[in-house]
Amino acid sequence: MAKILIVEDNALNIKLFCDLLAAHGHQPEAVTDSRNAIDAARSFSPDLVITDIQLPHVSGLDLIRLIRKDEELSSVPIMAVTAYSARGDEERIRAAGAQAYVSKPISVVRFAETVDELLKGDDAAEIDNPESQANEADDGPGPGETGGEED
Ligand code: MN
Protein backbone atom coordinates (compact mmCIF):
# COMPACT_ATOMS: atom_id res chain seq x y z
CA MET A 1 0.00 0.00 0.00
CA ALA A 2 1.27 3.41 -0.93
CA LYS A 3 0.28 6.89 0.12
CA ILE A 4 -0.62 8.89 -2.96
CA LEU A 5 -1.36 12.61 -2.99
CA ILE A 6 -3.68 13.79 -5.75
CA VAL A 7 -3.73 17.46 -6.72
CA GLU A 8 -6.75 18.00 -8.94
CA ASP A 9 -9.43 20.70 -9.13
CA ASN A 10 -12.06 18.55 -10.82
CA ALA A 11 -14.28 16.65 -8.38
CA LEU A 12 -15.14 13.88 -10.83
CA ASN A 13 -11.49 13.20 -11.56
CA ILE A 14 -10.69 13.17 -7.85
CA LYS A 15 -13.37 10.55 -7.32
CA LEU A 16 -12.15 8.51 -10.27
CA PHE A 17 -8.48 8.63 -9.22
CA CYS A 18 -9.26 7.92 -5.56
CA ASP A 19 -11.52 4.98 -6.46
CA LEU A 20 -8.91 3.53 -8.81
CA LEU A 21 -6.09 3.89 -6.31
CA ALA A 22 -8.13 2.52 -3.42
CA ALA A 23 -9.13 -0.45 -5.60
CA HIS A 24 -5.42 -1.15 -6.03
CA GLY A 25 -4.94 -1.09 -2.28
CA HIS A 26 -3.46 2.37 -2.03
CA GLN A 27 -4.24 5.21 0.32
CA PRO A 28 -5.15 8.31 -1.70
CA GLU A 29 -5.49 11.82 -0.36
CA ALA A 30 -6.76 14.66 -2.52
CA VAL A 31 -6.07 18.37 -2.54
CA THR A 32 -8.28 20.58 -4.71
CA ASP A 33 -6.43 23.85 -4.21
CA SER A 34 -2.87 23.67 -5.45
CA ARG A 35 -1.87 26.46 -3.05
CA ASN A 36 -2.27 23.87 -0.27
CA ALA A 37 -0.43 21.10 -2.08
CA ILE A 38 3.06 21.61 -0.66
CA ASP A 39 1.81 21.78 2.93
CA ALA A 40 -0.38 18.73 2.35
CA ALA A 41 2.53 16.82 0.86
CA ARG A 42 4.81 17.68 3.76
CA SER A 43 2.32 16.40 6.30
CA PHE A 44 1.10 13.38 4.30
CA SER A 45 4.57 12.26 3.11
CA PRO A 46 3.26 10.62 -0.05
CA ASP A 47 5.07 7.86 -1.94
CA LEU A 48 3.78 9.39 -5.16
CA VAL A 49 2.21 12.69 -6.20
CA ILE A 50 -0.33 12.76 -9.03
CA THR A 51 -1.01 16.27 -10.25
CA ASP A 52 -3.29 17.81 -12.79
CA ILE A 53 -1.54 20.37 -14.98
CA GLN A 54 -4.46 22.75 -15.58
CA LEU A 55 -4.93 24.09 -12.06
CA PRO A 56 -6.01 27.51 -10.87
CA HIS A 57 -3.63 29.56 -8.68
CA VAL A 58 -0.52 27.38 -8.89
CA SER A 59 -0.25 25.52 -12.19
CA GLY A 60 0.73 21.88 -12.25
CA LEU A 61 4.02 22.77 -13.90
CA ASP A 62 4.85 25.28 -11.17
CA LEU A 63 3.82 22.78 -8.53
CA ILE A 64 6.14 20.15 -10.02
CA ARG A 65 9.00 22.65 -9.89
CA LEU A 66 8.17 23.57 -6.28
CA ILE A 67 8.17 19.92 -5.24
CA ARG A 68 11.49 19.31 -6.96
CA LYS A 69 13.00 22.27 -5.10
CA ASP A 70 11.54 21.27 -1.72
CA GLU A 71 14.02 19.76 0.70
CA GLU A 72 11.59 17.15 2.04
CA LEU A 73 9.80 16.34 -1.19
CA SER A 74 12.39 16.56 -3.92
CA SER A 75 12.73 12.80 -4.43
CA VAL A 76 9.00 11.96 -4.51
CA PRO A 77 7.96 10.61 -7.92
CA ILE A 78 5.45 12.77 -9.76
CA MET A 79 2.89 11.71 -12.33
CA ALA A 80 1.26 14.51 -14.33
CA VAL A 81 -2.23 14.21 -15.75
CA THR A 82 -3.36 16.65 -18.38
CA ALA A 83 -6.28 17.20 -20.70
CA TYR A 84 -4.15 18.92 -23.29
CA SER A 85 -1.36 17.35 -25.15
CA ALA A 86 -0.18 20.27 -27.18
CA ARG A 87 3.12 20.01 -28.92
CA GLY A 88 5.99 20.16 -26.46
CA ASP A 89 3.79 19.61 -23.40
CA GLU A 90 5.29 16.29 -22.47
CA GLU A 91 8.80 17.70 -22.77
CA ARG A 92 7.87 20.69 -20.60
CA ILE A 93 6.28 18.46 -17.99
CA ARG A 94 9.28 16.13 -17.87
CA ALA A 95 11.71 19.04 -17.85
CA ALA A 96 9.88 20.48 -14.83
CA GLY A 97 10.63 17.23 -13.00
CA ALA A 98 7.72 14.80 -13.47
CA GLN A 99 8.63 11.18 -14.18
CA ALA A 100 5.44 10.28 -16.01
CA TYR A 101 2.69 11.84 -17.99
CA VAL A 102 -0.82 10.52 -18.65
CA SER A 103 -3.36 12.21 -20.92
CA LYS A 104 -6.99 12.73 -20.03
CA PRO A 105 -9.35 11.12 -20.58
CA ILE A 106 -7.20 8.58 -18.81
CA SER A 107 -6.95 4.95 -19.75
CA VAL A 108 -7.64 3.09 -16.51
CA VAL A 109 -5.08 0.44 -17.40
CA ARG A 110 -2.38 2.90 -18.32
CA PHE A 111 -3.07 4.97 -15.21
CA ALA A 112 -2.72 1.93 -12.94
CA GLU A 113 0.38 0.65 -14.74
CA THR A 114 2.08 4.02 -14.53
CA VAL A 115 1.34 4.28 -10.81
CA ASP A 116 2.81 0.80 -10.27
CA GLU A 117 5.92 1.57 -12.28
CA LEU A 118 6.60 4.78 -10.38
CA LEU A 119 6.05 3.12 -7.01
CA LYS A 120 8.38 0.26 -7.90
CA GLY A 121 10.94 2.59 -9.38
CA ASP A 122 10.93 0.40 -12.52
CA ASP A 123 10.82 3.50 -14.60
CA ALA A 124 14.17 4.67 -13.29
CA ALA A 125 15.68 4.61 -16.75
CA GLU A 126 13.18 7.20 -17.82
CA ILE A 127 13.71 9.47 -14.84
CA ASP A 128 15.70 12.17 -16.47
CA ASN A 129 17.65 14.79 -14.72
CA PRO A 130 15.66 17.97 -15.38
CA GLU A 131 18.92 19.77 -16.10
CA SER A 132 19.52 17.53 -19.09
CA GLN A 133 16.41 18.88 -20.74
CA ALA A 134 16.94 22.49 -19.80
CA ASN A 135 17.26 23.44 -23.45
CA GLU A 136 13.79 22.20 -24.37
CA ALA A 137 12.29 25.67 -24.12
CA ASP A 138 13.52 27.05 -27.42
CA ASP A 139 12.25 24.44 -29.82
CA GLY A 140 10.15 21.35 -30.48
CA PRO A 141 10.89 17.74 -29.61
CA GLY A 142 14.41 16.51 -30.11
CA PRO A 143 15.42 13.45 -32.06
CA GLY A 144 13.79 10.32 -30.76
CA GLU A 145 11.12 12.21 -28.88
CA THR A 146 7.45 11.72 -29.61
CA GLY A 147 5.19 14.21 -31.31
CA GLY A 148 5.90 16.61 -34.08
CA GLU A 149 3.59 14.93 -36.58
CA GLU A 150 0.78 17.44 -36.49
CA ASP A 151 2.15 20.09 -38.84
MN1 MN B 1 -7.82 21.02 -13.87
- Domain with 81 in it: what CATH number? 3.40.50.2300
In a domain, 148, yes or no: no
pLDDT at 121: 85
Expressed in angstroms and rounded, the spacing between residue 143 Cα and the centre of ligand 1 is 30
In a domain, 106, yes or no: yes
144 φ/ψ sector (left φ>0, alpha ψ -120 to 50, else beta):
left
Expressed in angstroms and rounded, the spacing between residue 94 Cα and the centre of ligand 1 is 18
Expressed in angstroms and rounded, the spacing between residue 53 Cα and the centre of ligand 1 is 6
In a domain, 142, yes or no: no
pTM of the complete model = 0.80
* Residues 24 and 2: beta-carbon distance below 8 Å: no
Q: Which whole number is the average pLDDT over 25-47?
A: 98
| C-alpha–C-alpha distance, residues 137 and 94, integer Å | 12
Domain of 80, in residue numbers: 3-133
Q: Which whole number is the average pLDDT over 56-64?
A: 97
Handedness of CA 89, 90, 92, 97 (dihedral sign): positive
How many domains does the chain fold into? 1
Expressed in angstroms and rounded, the spacing between residue 136 Cα and the centre of ligand 1 is 24
pLDDT over 70 for what percent of the chain? 80
Q: Which whole number is the average pLDDT over 53-76?
A: 97
pLDDT at 35: 97
In a domain, 146, yes or no: no
Work out the mean pLDDT of the chain and round it to a whole number. 86
Q: Which whole number is the average pLDDT over 23-43?
A: 97
